[in-house]
Chains A and B, each alone.
Chain A
Amino acid sequence: MSAETMFDKIWDAHVAAQVSEDIALLHVDRHLVHELTTVEAIRVLERRDLPVRDPGLTFATLDHVISTQPGRSPDGEPWASDMIDGLREQTDRLGIDRFDTHDGRQGIVHVIGPEQGLSLPGTTIVCGDSHTCTHGAFGALAWGIGSSEQVHVLATQTIRQRRPPTLRITLNGTPGPNACAKDVILHVIGKLGVSAASGYAVEFAGDCVRSFDMESRMTLCNLAIELGARVGMVAPDETTYAYLRGRPYAPKGEDFDLAVSQWSLLPSAPNAQFDRELAVDVSGIGPVVTWGTSPEHAISCDGVVPDPAGEPDLSIRQGMVAAQAYMRLTPGQALAGTPIDRVFIGSCANGRLSDLRAAAAVIQGRRVADHVRAWVVPGSMPVKRQAEQEGLDRIFIAAGFDWREPGCSMCVGANGDMVAPGERCVSTSNRNFVGRQGPGALTHLASPATAAASAIAGHIRHAAAVQEVA
C-alpha cells in the first residue's frame, strides 16, 4: 500500500464494482455538462425512460455554442437556441444546477469547475469534452467522455473504465523568466510527441510543477490530452488548498478540514512505482510557438521552421511536409516576423484571470497593428468581472482588442466564431489541427503574452521582443 501512486489511491477509492479483470465501474463524483453534447444525451436517457441518478452531482453550463458577441443574445442562431434552450429546459426540469448568463456564473466548463470549487482533490470528474483533463491540476481523476458514456453516467452516476497504466513525467530545471506554463507544456509536447502518453494516466512532477500556481497547473494539465494522456494530474498541496478555501462549492468548516486531512494523503509515495517514467528538461526555456498542424510542432519563438529532410522517421517527415504546405511555411524560415491576421486570447487553456493579466501587461499603452483583428474572450463571467474591476478591459479596448463575452469561441468555432480561410491566427487555445479554427485557418498556438505581443507587432513575436522595441 505504501508504494501507491496518487492515481492508484484515487482509482481504488472509486471502484463500485469490478466488471472484469481490468474494467471497473467507477463512481463519478462530478459530471460536468454543456450544451453541445448533453441535450441529446438527456433525450436518449429519457427515451429509455431512465431518471438522472444524481442531479446533485451533475453541473451544467453553456460554453460551446453560446455567442460571445458583446451584448449577446442566443436568439440569432437557430442551431444554438435548440441546444441552449434545450439545456436550460432540461436542467430546470431535472433539478440540475446550471451556471448561466442570468446568474453571472456562465463560462467554459473547465474554467467554472475550478472557479466554483467543484473540482476537488481525490475526486473523479467527467465531462463530454476532451479537455476535462484540466481538472487534474487539483489531483483529481478527470477525463473526457463520449455521448454514450454521458448517458451511462447520467443513468448510474458511474462509468466503466479499463484501468490505464501510469506514467510520471518529471519536468527538470527552471524555465526562463519569459516562459509560462503554456510555453512549458508546448515544449514538453514538442519533445515527447502527441502520442507519447497515449492511454496513460499521467502525473506531472518536478520542482517547476510544484512552483506553479493553480492556474498554471490547469494550463499544464489542460494540454495533457495533446500528449494522448487519459488523465493528467498534479499532486495537491498548500497551493491547492489555499485556492479552494472559500469557493462557493468547496467544502466548508469542519468538512473542509476533513477533506484536507484526506487530500494530504493523496500524493504518490516517494517510492511509488509507475509503469513508465519520462523526464523533460525545461531549464531556461523561453516562449514557445507551434509552426504546424499538430501541438507537437512546437519550437522556440526565436526558432526556424524545421527541415523535414532532417527527420529520419518517414511518417513524421510526411506529416511535416503536409503541415508546412498547409501552413504556407518553408523550412528554415524564421517563425518570428511571420505576418498574422488574427489573435485569439481565451479558451480553457488560457482564458483565466492570470492569463488576461499577462496579456494586458504586454499590451498596456500599445496599439494592435492595423491589419490585425484581435479578440479577448474571458473564460467565464466571474473572470470577466474581475478583469473589469482591475481595469484590464480598458487596456484591451484602448489597444484595439474586442472585449467579448465568455465561451469557447474561436478555439473550436462551434458558435460561428471562426478564422477565415487562409488567415493566420496566433491563438492561446490548445489545438492547431487542420481547419480547427475554421476551414483553411492557419493556427499558431502560443502563450497569452506571446499572443498579445504578436497582436501589437502584427507578426509572430514574443513579449520580450515587443518590450525591447518600446
Chain B
Amino acid sequence: MKPFTSCTSPVAVIDRDNVDTDMIVRIERMTTLKRGQFGPWAFEMLRYRADGSENGDFVLNREPFRHARILLARANFGCGSSREMAVWALDDFGIRCVIAESFGDIFYNNCLQNGVLPIRLPADRIAELAVPANTGQAMTVDLEQCTITVPGLLTLSFEFAEHPRQALLQGLDDIDQSLLLRDDIEAFRQRDRARRPWVYATATR
C-alpha cells in the first residue's frame, strides 16, 4: 500500500450530503475497467452531460480543482454500495484525502486499504475550511502531526485512531500483518471447532 504522510493541494468542495458510491463510480465501469483506469469515470454523472461533454459547473472540471488531491465533503460521504472501485476511482483521479463530517462505514474501511486518508471533522470546521477551499487556496494535510493548514489563515488538528494512522504512515499491508498472527488464528480455530463443530462441518453435508 502506498504510504500517506502529507499532501498539499487545492481542495475541491463536494457540497452535498449522502454522496453514495454509485455516484462516485457507476457499476458498468466495474464490469469493464481495471484498477488504474477509473480516473476518467470518477463522478461521471456529475462531471459529464448526457451527450458526453464536460459539465463546466462541476467543481472537478474547473481550475485549479482539476488537480485537486483533497476533497471536502459533508455528511455520510461514500454511503451505499461496498464497491472498493469508488476508492480506486478517487485514487486514479489523484485524490489522496477526503475530509467529511461522516463517512459510509465500508467506504471508510476501503480508504484505509488503499492509502487514501479519510478525515472526520465537525460540520462547523468543514464550513470554515470551505471558504478558502472555494477560492482555490491550497491546503496541507499532515498525518504525522494530524493537522490541516491553510497557509496564513489557520491550522486545525484532527483525530485519527493510532493503529490505522501508523498503517497509513508506513504503508503497511493488513494481510502481511495478519499472516504474522497465523498461530493465534489456528489456536482459535482449534478451540472453536471443539465448541461449535457445526460451523465447520460444511464439507460433509
A2: interface (CB < 8 Å): no
Task: Knowing A228-B105, A433-B22, A433-B23 are in contact, say whether A152-B178 is a contact too (CB < 8 A).
Answer: yes
The answer to whether B76 touches A195, judged by C-beta atoms less than 8 angstroms apart, is: yes
User: What's the minimum C-beta distance from B190 to chain A, rounded to whole angstroms?
Assistant: 11
For chain A residues 223-258, which have a beta carbon within 8 Å of chain B? 225, 228, 230, 248-249, 251-252, 255-256, 258
B9: interface (CB < 8 Å): no
Chain B 61-95: CB-based contact to A (< 8 A → 1; otherwise 0): 00000000000001110011111110100000000
The answer to whether A439 touches B106, judged by C-beta atoms less than 8 angstroms apart, is: no
The answer to whether A195 touches B79, judged by C-beta atoms less than 8 angstroms apart, is: yes
The answer to whether A255 touches B201, judged by C-beta atoms less than 8 angstroms apart, is: yes
B182 to chain A: closest residue by CB? A156
The answer to whether B22 touches A431, judged by C-beta atoms less than 8 angstroms apart, is: yes
> In the docked arrangement, what's the CA distance between A390 and B191, Å?
46
> Beyond the given A146-B113, A228-B105, could you list 14 further A-B residue pairs with CB under 8 A, ordered by the A residue number?
A20-B162, A23-B161, A36-B30, A120-B199, A144-B82, A156-B175, A195-B18, A198-B103, A225-B80, A256-B198, A259-B198, A316-B17, A421-B50, A434-B22
The segment from A123-131, A343-351, A459-467 found at the interface with B is A123-131
User: What's the minimum C-beta distance from A81 to chain B, rounded to whole angstroms?
Assistant: 11
List of A residues within 8 angstroms of B82 by Cβ: 128-130, 132, 144-146
Binding site for A on B (CB under 8 A): 16-18, 20, 22-23, 26-28, 30-32, 45, 50, 74-76, 79-85, 87, 102-106, 109-110, 113-114, 161-163, 174-175, 177-179, 181-182, 184-185, 187-189, 192, 196-203, 205
List of A residues within 8 angstroms of B199 by Cβ: 29, 57, 120, 123
List of B residues within 8 angstroms of A252 by Cβ: 205
Which of B31, B75, B83 contacts A83 (CB under 8 A)?
B31
A319: interface (CB < 8 Å): yes
The answer to whether B184 touches A258, judged by C-beta atoms less than 8 angstroms apart, is: no
For chain A residues 247-296, which have a beta carbon within 8 Å of chain B? 248-249, 251-252, 255-256, 258-259, 262, 294
Chain A 216-228: CB-based contact to B (< 8 A → 1; otherwise 0): 0000000001001
The answer to whether A57 touches B17, judged by C-beta atoms less than 8 angstroms apart, is: no
Which of A22, A158, A249 contacts B205 (CB under 8 A)?
A249
Task: Knowing A27-B185, A160-B174, A258-B197 are in contact, say whether A413-B28 is a contact too (CB < 8 A).
Answer: yes
Task: Knowing A25-B184, A37-B84, A413-B28 are in contact, say whether A315-B17 is a contact too (CB < 8 A).
Answer: yes
List of A residues within 8 angstroms of B79 by Cβ: 194-195, 228
For chain A residues 178-237, which have a beta carbon within 8 Å of chain B? 194-195, 198-199, 225, 228, 230
The answer to whether A36 touches B31, judged by C-beta atoms less than 8 angstroms apart, is: yes
> In the docked arrangement, what's the CA distance between A435 and B28, Å?
11
User: What's the minimum C-beta distance from A100 to chain B, rounded to whole angstroms?
Assistant: 17
The answer to whether B83 touches A79, judged by C-beta atoms less than 8 angstroms apart, is: no
> In the docked arrangement, what's the CA distance between A145 and B87, Å?
13
Which of A128, A151, A249 contacts B202 (CB under 8 A)?
A249
The answer to whether A319 touches B16, judged by C-beta atoms less than 8 angstroms apart, is: yes
List of A residues within 8 angstroms of B30 by Cβ: 36, 414
What's the dominant secondary structure at chain B's contact region?
helix
Task: Knowing A57-B202, A259-B198 are in contact, say whether A22-B161 is a contact too (CB < 8 A).
Answer: yes
A104: interface (CB < 8 Å): no
B106 to chain A: closest residue by CB? A144
> In the docked arrangement, what's the CA distance between A144 and B201, Å?
24
> In the docked arrangement, what's the CA distance between A149 and B79, Å?
17
A83 to chain B: closest residue by CB? B31
B104 to chain A: closest residue by CB? A228
Task: Knowing A149-B113, A439-B50 are in contact, say whether A16-B175 is a contact too (CB < 8 A).
Answer: no
A436: interface (CB < 8 Å): yes
User: What's the minimum C-beta distance from A248 to chain B, rounded to whole angstroms?
Assistant: 6
> Interface residue count for A (Cβ, 8 Å)?
79
B74 to chain A: closest residue by CB? A315
A-B pairs with lowest CB-CB distance, top 8: A148-B113, A146-B84, A251-B198, A16-B188, A144-B82, A146-B110, A20-B163, A17-B184
A147: interface (CB < 8 Å): yes
Chain A 410-442: CB-based contact to B (< 8 A → 1; otherwise 0): 001110000001000000000101111001100
User: What's the minimum C-beta distance from A328 to chain B, rounded to whole angstroms?
Assistant: 15
B166 to chain A: closest residue by CB? A20
The answer to whether B80 touches A195, judged by C-beta atoms less than 8 angstroms apart, is: no
For chain A residues 148-178, which have a beta carbon within 8 Å of chain B? 148-149, 151-152, 155-158, 160, 162, 164
A65: interface (CB < 8 Å): yes
A94: interface (CB < 8 Å): no
> In the docked arrangement, what's the CA distance between A319 and B19, Å?
11
> In the docked arrangement, what's the CA distance between A238 and B81, Å?
33
Which of A17, A158, A316, A434 contacts B45 (CB under 8 A)?
A434
> In the docked arrangement, what's the CA distance between A145 and B189, Å?
22
> In the docked arrangement, what's the CA distance between A225 and B175, Å?
26
| A27, A148, A164 — most chain B CB neighbours (10 Å) | A148
Task: Knowing A20-B162, A195-B18 are in contact, say whether A56-B113 is a contact too (CB < 8 A).
Answer: no
List of B residues within 8 angstroms of A128 by Cβ: 82
User: What's the minimum C-beta distance from B92 to chain A, rounded to whole angstroms?
Assistant: 14
User: What's the minimum C-beta distance from A158 to chain B, rounded to whole angstroms?
Assistant: 6
A19: interface (CB < 8 Å): yes
The answer to whether A156 touches B178, judged by C-beta atoms less than 8 angstroms apart, is: yes
User: What's the minimum C-beta distance from B173 to chain A, rounded to whole angstroms?
Assistant: 9
A80: interface (CB < 8 Å): yes
A17 to chain B: closest residue by CB? B184
> In the docked arrangement, what's the CA distance between A66 and B76, Å?
31
A3: interface (CB < 8 Å): no
List of B residues within 8 angstroms of A17 by Cβ: 181, 184-185, 188
Task: Knowing A17-B185, A433-B23 are in contact, say whether A151-B178 is a contact too (CB < 8 A).
Answer: no
User: What's the minimum C-beta distance from B115 to chain A, rounded to whole angstroms?
Assistant: 11
B187 to chain A: closest residue by CB? A16
